[in-house]
Amino acid sequence: MDRKSVSSSNISSIGYDPQANVLEVEFTSGDVYQYFDVPDHLHELFLNASSPGQFLNENIRYNYRYQKVR
């Protein structure tokens, strides 16, 4: 999955598969997580958030099923 770099102290990049509704987040630690059933509009808001880490915590992390992939 292609990811776009973001300006964040703890997130390196964000990717999205619109056909599967899978959001992929790479952290600065190198860990990669996939979040499932995330709607496209939320992905767009996440990409443009002034604080991606805060957006992840408030809107995605505890609201969608996820798994660590790396």
Query: What is the total count of domains within the chain?
Result: 1
3-state secondary structure (DSSP) of residue 67: strand
Task: Write out the residue range of the structural domain in which residue 56 sits.
Answer: 3-68
Q: What predicted TM-score, i.e. pTM, was given to this entire model?
A: 0.93
Could you read off the pLDDT of 25-68 as tens digits, one per residue?
999 999 999 999 999 999 999 999 999 999 999 999 999 999 99
Instruction: Concatenate the DSSP letters of all residues of 5-58 into one string.
Output: E---SSEEEEEEETTTTEEEEEETTS-EEEEES--HHHHHHHHT-S-HHHHIII
